[in-house]
Amino acid sequence: MAATRSVLGWVAAAMLGVLLVSPGAIRAEEIIRSHGMNFYGELSYPEGFAHFDYVNPDAPKGGELVLGTTGTFDSLNPYSRKGRAGALTTLQYDRMIVPSADGVGEYYGLLAESIEYPESKDWVIFRLRPEARFWDGTPVTAQDVVYSHRLFIEQGLPSYAVAVGAMVTAAEALDDRTVRFSFNPDLTKRSRIETVGSTPVFSRAWFEADPENRRLDEPRMEVALGSGPYRLAEYDVNRRIVYERVPDYWAADLPVNRGRHNYDAIRVEYFADATAAFEAFKAGEYLFRTEGDPKRWATGYDFRRVSDGTIVLEELPDGSPPDATGFVFNLGRPWLQDLRVREAIARAFNFEWANETLLYGLYAPRHSFSEGTHIEATGLPEGDELALLESLGSVVPAEIMTEPARVLPSSAAGRVADRRNLRGAAALLEEAGWITGDDGLVRNADGQTLRLNMLIPTNIEPTVEAMHEAFVQNLRQIGVDARFETVDPSQYTLRQRERDYDMLYSTRYSSLLTTGGGLTQMYGSAEAAFSLFNPAGLASPAVDAIIDASLAAETREATDIALSALDRAMRHELFVVPVGYIPDVWVAYYDLYRHPETLPRFDVASSHIDLWWVDPEKAQALKDAGVID
């Protein structure tokens, strides 16, 4: 794939901060004013568009979406640094811009009626819609936007505060409806506008009425005043949360919202564990379920309400690359910082056996952070990708440029222990200085055993727990002092935040589709010690340099080259042992819900929350049959 200019050229320009133009090319910077924004300029939806293509603009309003979840909650503040927030609490807060779900990197105005910025993206002006209102009828103002921004900097998650605090040099209300953000010109142009534009907007008056008790960083059961389509109706701690659709929601008829937010209410029922939750679904205690357990999907839905059509099963094609789910190493542990040790441990996980025995063959193998996309790294780097890697110098390990993109060796599916892979793993441990003792455990030169404690919550799916058991069994065969520890969900959350684990089964790492400031929060060194989005604590100079190169890219082609290199470098680091993925989204629901014929390819998994609707005739039929209340 050829970039529009050489990779060496644009990387050098980005690193030196030099703009190479001929004297005749110097001109006044163009100011862009638009209804939306995309880093590359083009938008799929023109000004004045009626609605997104993937919605049903005539979807009826009414009914209730009833969901189930496991675990507990002790807060209704989704932005707290402490506690466990209730499900879907973020539904209550509008933002200035929102992404479309059928494109990458496209944003359109919600609170903002227009967006104005120069080509350099050194500043942005949002003009707020005059009709924008909080639930109490007060207008959403530029002062509220500035206050919300500062609140996140002062009381938000540290990773956000550090990144955005460095990026934004000034936030000011020019008048009640106009807000301007100025950006640090020495930092990347990427993610500037979408980051500040996607920040939830709160009522300044609400927070300032009781600043001691109304903090962003503390858990609380009082909901901050919002302007969103749903607001809290009732809750019963650790049992249920109910949201009601705001009847006079100010933005209901905007193009970005037409055909969305169709339920009168959304109710979330809480259950102690996955087994209890499934039995409750079968009994009709909740009505929509996204299934994540292959065993249950293959064998658990053989009951009357499925066979008689009361419950519908669907496999919805998912166009997004899978998230990087797997066993995540805590790289803060000294004994896990040796790549040979991590590879040895990774080889002990037999995905093929787990897929055939535990997952009913329904998982697909995953090797890449961009699995199945055009930016997935394959084979040896060549062309512009190789040129980019070479331009970064000694921070890039030689193996990344001289060896194919890392793919862990496959295992035999017939038995849990693949002897060939376990022999290879044992050899890697010995090479790293871990020698097997008389008791079968490996020890380093100081006589310390190689300890590996995996942390899992009590509400985890039984299939995932079974994978942990098999993984531990294989690790013990190569002398690793491995075990897994089960803790309640609240303790799990606390220990997750404090990095109190050796290994963690995590869905935290997102797939790569495009670049942006979120990459540094998830994979960058600067925030590795504290970012909740980087549970491994990955801090790699090579990864940092390639992220910087992706942020400096000016074209889609150059961006894609950098992302392929990034995929290659992160796979080299082996901080996640991949467990594969489900290619489709599995849903089971009582036959009263409907969805648009074509769902957005990048938002299939959560589309039931804001794109589906209740069929009133089907709902009435189920009520008449006594299936639902």
pLDDT digits (tens, 9 = 90+) for 165-217: 999 999 999 999 999 999 999 988 888 999 999 999 999 999 999 999 999 99
pLDDT of residue 13: 30
Residue 18 clears pLDDT 70, i.e. is over it:
no
pLDDT of residue 278: 97
Number of helices (H), then strands (E), in the chain: 20, 24
Average pLDDT, integer, range 595-617? 94
pLDDT of residue 516: 84
pLDDT of residue 596: 96
Work out the angle at residue 486's Cα, subtended by the Cα atoms of residues 285 and 352, and round it to the nearest 5 degrees.
85
**Among the listed ranges 224-238, 351-365, 367-381, 501-515, which one has the minimum average pLDDT value?**
501-515
User: Could you tell me how far CA 49 lies from the centroid of its own chain?
Assistant: 28
**Among the listed ranges 11-15, 346-350, 467-471, 579-583, which one has the minimum average pLDDT value?**
11-15
Name the more confident of 179 and 8: 179
Cβ atoms of 559 and 550 within 8 Å: the answer is yes
Q: pTM of the prediction?
A: 0.84
pLDDT of residue 28: 60
Which CATH code fits 230-318+583-624?
Answer: 3.40.190.10
pLDDT of residue 11: 30
Q: Which amino acid is at 408?
A: L
Quick one: CA dihedral 507, 508, 509, 514, positive or negative?
A: positive
pLDDT of residue 561: 96
Cβ atoms of 588 and 313 within 8 Å: the answer is yes
pLDDT of residue 257: 98
Domain 326-578 -> CATH class: alpha beta
pLDDT digits (tens, 9 = 90+) for 253-300: 999 999 999 999 999 999 999 999 999 999 999 999 999 999 999 999
CATH 3.40.190.10 residue ranges of the chain are: 230-318+583-624
CATH 3.10.105.10 residue ranges of the chain are: 326-578
Average pLDDT, integer, range 443-466? 93
Q: How far is CA 93 from CA 96, 242, 314, 547, 563, in A?
A: 10, 16, 31, 31, 32
Cβ atoms of 371 and 511 within 8 Å: the answer is yes
pLDDT of residue 159: 79
pLDDT of residue 20: 28
pLDDT of residue 16: 26
Cβ atoms of 81 and 215 within 8 Å: the answer is no
Q: How far is CA 578 from CA 75, 346, 415, in A?
A: 32, 9, 19
Residue 419 clears pLDDT 80, i.e. is over it:
yes
| Helix, strand, coil content of the chain in percent (nearest 5) | 30, 20, 50
Average pLDDT, integer, range 524-542? 90
Mean pLDDT over the full length of the chain:
92
Strand order across the 97-99 sheet = 36-37, 107-109, 97-99
pLDDT of residue 24: 34
Q: pLDDT-based confidence at 308, cuts 50/70/90? A: very high
